[in-house]
């Protein structure tokens, strides 16, 4: 093989191994989007109610595309996210503090605001995150008929967290992942939802051990895909058998279409 052909082959191989998906959309009812990923781990067949729930949480992660209302009002009118785009916000996970984002910390530091102005900026962001979380929790509670108090509040939080985390794992398949939450924190959030919030017992421990083993994968995109593959295989049956079938019985009473396991 001559040098020119070798060079061309090398370029093709490199291009095939570079992630070429600039972004990932909801793609409702279609393949390749966040909705398909989320349905693949839930115990439900596609239906209007669950699709509407997924859309609500999707919007609270991704929309509006642009600065949320009030963010750039004085004294924060000079805030900018530069090249980082909309994932600067609300891609840190359902239960995470916005201050866990190194990118957002970096952008705030650039402004060189005094402490009072900086604190008021963080309050705007945290208050908006709390508003979106309340909306997502309300949607989960209404759709899945969970009370937003006591044990059922923990169940609602778990479903909101898992839907959010699957969205983030899907975003790891795209080109620009610098603004995404640390994958270790995403996986820990899922593990807590399964074992603590949903009280999944030995089933949760088994799945969580499998997720722990993904830490040996150095490429973060590959690790995200492996974690998603594990969850796609394990979670539908987990939801329907956990707590001696409690969730399966609960969802059946709501008339939600459940997968066969």
pLDDT digits (tens, 9 = 90+) for 166-219: 999 999 999 889 999 999 999 999 999 999 999 999 999 999 999 999 999 999
Share of the chain residues as helix, strand and coil, in percent rounded to the nearest 5: 65, 0, 35
Phi, psi for residue 258 in degrees, rounded to 5: -100, 145
- Do you know the residue count of the chain? 261
Return the closest-CA partner of residue 25 out of 80, 75, 63, 81. 63
Higher pLDDT: 13 or 119? It is 119
Return the closest-CA partner of residue 206 out of 237, 176, 175, 181. 237
Helices (H) and strands (E) in the chain, counts: 9, 0
Please give the C-alpha separations between residue 98 and each of 24, 82, 115, 180, 189, in angstroms, as whole numbers. Answer: 22, 18, 17, 12, 15
Please give the C-alpha separations between residue 80 and each of 72, 86, 119, 148, 152, in angstroms, as whole numbers. Answer: 9, 11, 17, 36, 39
Residue 65, CA atoms < 13 Å, CB-side half-sphere: 3
Predicted confidence (pLDDT) at residue 15 exceeds the cutoff of 50: no
Q: What is the pLDDT of residues 36-78, one digit of tens each?
A: 999 999 999 999 999 999 999 999 999 866 678 899 999 999 9
pLDDT (0 to 100) of residue 20: 46
Rounded to a whole number of angstroms, the distance between the first and last alpha carbons of the chain is: 52
């Amino acid at each position: 093989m001559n040098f020119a052909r070798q060079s061309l082959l090398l370029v093709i191989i490199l291009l095939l191994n570079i992630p070429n998906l600039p972004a990932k959309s909801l793609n409702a009812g279609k393949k390749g989007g966040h909705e398909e990923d989320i349905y693949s781990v839930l115990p439900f067949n596609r239906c209007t109610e669950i699709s509407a729930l997924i859309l609500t949480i999707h919007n609270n992660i991704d929309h509006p595309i642009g600065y949320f209302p009030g963010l750039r009002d004085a004294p924060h009118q000079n805030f900018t996210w530069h090249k980082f785009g909309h994932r600067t916000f609300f891609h840190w996970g359902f239960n995470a503090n916005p201050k866990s984002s190194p990118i957002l910390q970096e952008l705030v530091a650039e402004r060189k605001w005094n402490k009072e102005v900086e604190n008021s900026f963080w309050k705007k962001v945290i208050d908006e995150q709390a508003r979106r979380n309340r909306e997502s929790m309300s949607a989960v509670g209404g759709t899945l008929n969970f009370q937003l108090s006591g044990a059922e509040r923990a169940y609602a939080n778990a479903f909101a967290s898992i839907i959010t985390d699957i969205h983030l794992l899907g975003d790891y398949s795209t080109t620009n992942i610098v603004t995404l939450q640390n994958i270790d924190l995403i996986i820990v959030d899922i593990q807590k939802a399964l074992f603590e919030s949903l009280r999944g017992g030995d089933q949760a421990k088994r799945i969580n051990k499998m997720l722990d083993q993904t830490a040996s994968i150095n490429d973060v995109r590959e690790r995200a895909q492996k974690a998603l593959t594990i969850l796609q295989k394990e979670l539908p049956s987990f939801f329907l058998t956990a707590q001696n079938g409690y969730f399966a019985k609960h969802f059946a009473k709501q008339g939600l279409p459940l997968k066969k396991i």
